[in-house]
Amino acid sequence: MANSQAPHPFIEYDAFLFDLDGTLLDTADDLGAALNAVLIRNKIKPVSSDVYRPAASNGAGALLEAGFKELWEAQPQSELIKQLVDEYAANIANHTHCFSGVESLLIALDQKKIKWGIMTNKPGFLTVPLVAAILALKNANVVISGDTLAEAKPSPLPLLHCAKLMAVKPNRCLYIGDAERDIQAGKAAGMHTATALWGYIPSIDEAYSWNADFNWQSPIDGFNHI
C-alpha cells in the first residue's frame, strides 16, 4: 500500500478545487432515498446504505444498477434514470451535509484569502440548488458542473476553466476528489491532486493505485497546504 503521506508535504497553493459528492458533501443518503423510492415503485426491495453508498459518486445509472442488480440490463433504463433524477431533484438536501472537517477547512481558506471552488460532474440543474442549500459553500469562487462545458471529468477542460475563472495558474491549484476520474482530470490539467479517502472510494487499495500526490484521511489534512 502506498504511503498516505504526501510526497510534497510543504507545498502551499493559490487555489483549492473540490469535487462535490463524496468530497465536500455526503449526499449518499439523499441519493439512496431517491434510489429506494424508484425501487419500491417498481416492486423491487429497497437497499441499505452499504449498497448505494459506494455507487453514490458514479451517477444515476450506477445507483440503479446497484439497486436492480442482475435485473438492471432488462430494465427501461432511460425511464428509470429520469425517475431517479426527478425524485432526487425534489428532495435534494434532506439529509445531505458537509463531511466532518470540510467546514473548518473552507473557513481557513477564506481566512487566508486562498481561493476555492467546486468542479463536479453533477449536472447544473442539480448542482446549483444543492450548493445553494449548504451554507458552508456560499463563498465558493467558482462552481462548475458536468454540463457547463462540452466535456466533463476525466477531461481536464473543466478544471482548466476553473483555474482561468479564478485567475490562477493550474500548477498552483490542488484538486481534491474521491474518484479515479477526479485524479485523472487533475493530473491532465497540470494540477496537484489529493484523494478524499473519506468519500465514496471503492477501496483504500484502489484509491492508492490512482497515484494522487496526496491521500487525505480527513479534510483537516488540507491545513498542511494553507
Q: Which residues participate in catalysis according to the annotation?
A: 19
Helices (H), the chain: 28-41, 49-52, 59-68, 77-90, 102-111, 124-133, 157-166, 180-188, 204-209
Element (H, E) at 176: strand 173-177
CA-to-CA distance for 124 and 127, rounded, in angstroms? 5
Q: Is 7 exposed, middle or buried (0-12, 13-18, 19+ CB in 10 A)?
A: exposed
Tell me, what DSSP letter sits at residue 139?
A: T
CA-to-CA distance for 216 and 118, rounded, in angstroms? 18
What are residue 21's DSSP bridge partners? 25
